[in-house]
Amino acid sequence: MDINKLINDFKEFDSATVQNAMILVRGYVDANIDYTSPDLKCYNFQNPVVGIAVTAKVTPLDEPKSKIDFNELYLNIKNSEYPVFAILQDIEEDNGRAAIIGDVMAHMGKALGAVGMVAGGSVRDIPGIKKADMPVWGTGRVPGHGPFNLIETQTQIEVAKLVIDPGDLIIGDEDGLTRIPLDIAEDTLIKCKEVREKEAKLMSKEGLKEKFDLY
């Protein structure tokens, strides 16, 4: 399986098309292992973003009892052999009260190979993030943070009710994030093309006339 080719090929589609295709491949599954909730908002977007998840748990408000060097997260992004979706979960009790992604992190992530960044919590510095040309998602916006520390990296996290493991294939757009299981990724890609062709026909004047005798 050529992961880089899969990533490039999935960029042609939106998350809704991918969702429909996965249903054709394996039926419906629990939403919490499938896609994000409406809590997640896209704050800088151009085209669908596809990458492999590098995960982190952070605390941006209070000093934790234990922490690890923040460079561990950056090195995991840098050392990935694939385009990275850097996905952070705010694990403070008061989730979202402080920002966990801003313009400095966006510029650093871009330089290290991240193609998208996601906050299971709040973001800030949106104008600077746009200057970094970094697609960013978050569950809120605030202007500040307190002591900002990395607690874990490359462990399972939960963002907007979606459970994400490091190494998951993720597609993101203005609708949110969808997790594409690697064991069905190739079949899903084939079905994406079928879904697009079927929907294009249904939405065409000819398709509407055929189905509803319109026009």
CA distance 149 to 118: 16
Which tokens go with 194? 């079928």
To 5 degrees, how large is the angle CA 162–CA 164–CA 166?
A: 170
CA distance 111 to 5: 22
CA distances to 1, 50, 160 from 137, rounded to whole Å, are 28, 13, 10
CA distances to 122, 137, 141, 147 from 92, rounded to whole Å, are 12, 18, 16, 12
Name the 3-class secondary structure at 12: coil
CA distances to 46, 176, 177 from 55, rounded to whole Å, are 23, 17, 14
Spatial neighbors of 119 by CB under 8 A, at least 6 apart, are 88, 90, 99, 100, 101, 136, 137, 138, 139, 159
Q: What is the pTM of this model?
A: 0.92
CA distance 143 to 132: 18
Which tokens go with 134? 């970094």
Q: What is the pLDDT of residue 212?
A: 53
The third-level CATH classification (topology) of the domain covering 3-212 is Glucose Oxidase; domain 1 (3.50.30)
Instruction: Name the residue ranges covered by the structural domains of the chain.
Output: 3-212
Q: What is the pLDDT of residue 205?
A: 54
State which residues of the chain have pLDDT below 70.
203-215
Q: What is the pLDDT of residue 1?
A: 82
Q: What is the pLDDT of residue 198?
A: 86
Q: What is the pLDDT of residue 4?
A: 96
Q: What is the pLDDT of residue 202?
A: 77
Q: What is the pLDDT of residue 206?
A: 61
